[in-house]
Amino acid sequence: MVLFGQIKTLNGWTLASTLALLGVYLIVSALRSLFIGPGFEALAGMEGDIWSGKFDFTLLRPLNTQ
């Protein structure tokens, strides 16, 4: 707002088009974090086992002999 208070356009971008671009970015970012983000976190982290080192023990655990 401070920048567009001094000038009308910035390299062809008006205040309205800049706000529209910002709005689209925020909506897409919110949808990604709402729908895609939890799936990636669960897949990559396996509930934190990979990051905490517990997954190594899961892989190396001997099979139950019974």
In the chain, the N- to C-terminal Cα span, in Å, equals 70
pLDDT band at residue 45 under the 50/70/90 scheme: low
Whether the Cβ atoms of residue 4 and residue 15 lie closer than 8 Å to each other: yes
pLDDT tens string 20-38: 999 999 999 999 888 887 7
Q: Determine the pLDDT at residue 22.
A: 94
Give me the pLDDT at residue 29, please: 93
| pLDDT for position 47 | 66
- pTM of the prediction? 0.55
pLDDT at 20: 96
Instruction: Give start and end residues of each alpha helix (H) in the chain.
Output: 2-6, 15-31, 37-45, 49-52, 54-60
Stated length of the chain? 66
